Amino acid sequence: MSKIAFVFPGQGSQAVGMGKDLYENLEIARELYKLADEIMGVKLSEISFNGPAEELKQTNFTQPALYVHSYILTKLINDNIKAECTAGHSLGEYTANAYAGTFGFEDGLRIVKTRGILMKNSGTIAQGTMAALIGLTKEQVIEICNKASADGVVQAANFNCPGQIVISGEVKAIESAIKIAKDAPYNCKIAKKLEVSGAFHSELMRTADKDLRDALDNMQLNEPSIPVYNNTTGEPLKDTDNIRKALKEQLTSPVLWELSVLNMIRDGVSKFYEIGSGKVLTGLIKKISPDVETINISCLEDLKNLGIL
């Protein structure tokens, strides 16, 4: 039996203007943005709709902005399309849990707000960066990180799809890894730094770890209505204890996106809807498995084209 999965984007997918068409045309979007602005204590709606891009790119705004936008889209989709499982990339895993009913919109936004602030602070305390290595195997990337670790913390952070792996760590170590990757015997064609405000999914996030764990411990979680495939193991979770554990570990662990997608396909998924800004996950899924169907829902026009509105 073929199944449907909803997948939710993480940082890097944000774009100035996201959600504006929903806000201008639909009452439910206006209500949720108003509530989000109150919870955030800033005009998140203004930052989402009008930027500037530099502000939206700051992790303490990026994460809540993506979460709110994707969540509103799920409310508009309602029961017109039903997913039988869900997953999200990094921040997107929180949106996936909100969709599955693990927690409500408001509690989800509060924890995402906390996570964004902690990760921003972490990026200031332990300064680091990330880089994408394109065209190498997992084994080669791990080897490169081991060699570059003489210059500081550096580790694989996102296993996105075959030949696309992101590394994370201290600036000097990341620069060493890029140089090693480009030289023989690896001859990596593309090895470039990413525009991020910290070394996400690495040991440098340890400065945020305890506070995020405490915040997650204080959250009321419900058993999700559908399985949530988590970033740290790539496997489906349906119990609150393991979901809480996965969200705690995710901060300093690599995102196993390729494995998550392969496991969803293994379990019968043949159609993926990417719900939210951009088409990053759709692109990755197509590289992981060209045969599956992928559909994007990111704006009012997409909802109308699918006959939902």
| Cβ neighbours for 306, distance < 8 A, ≥ 6 positions apart | 80, 81, 295, 297
Does the predicted model carry a pTM greater than 0.95? yes
Chain segment 237-279, per-residue pLDDT in tens: 999 999 999 999 999 999 999 999 999 999 999 999 999 999 9
204 touches 198 (CB < 8 A):
yes
Helices then strands, each counted (H, E), the chain: 14, 10
Q: Which amino acid is at 290?
A: P
Going from the N-terminus, what domains does the chain have, and what CATH number goes with each? 3-124+204-305 (3.40.366.10), 128-197 (3.30.70.250)
pLDDT of residue 196: 85
Q: Which of 168, 201, 260, 277 is catalytic?
A: 201
Query: How does strand 236-237 pair with strand 154-161?
Result: unpaired
Q: Is 89 a catalytic residue?
A: no
Q: Provide the token pair at 128.
A: 């680091």
Q: Which of 45, 48, 70, 90 is catalytic?
A: 90
Pick the closest to residue 103 from 5, 10, 211, 223 (CA basis): 223
Residues in Cβ contact with 54 at an 8 Å cutoff, skipping those fewer than 6 apart: none
β-strand partners of 211? none
pLDDT tens-digit map of 111-141: 999 999 999 999 899 889 999 999 999 999 9
168 vs 145: CA distance, rounded Å:
9
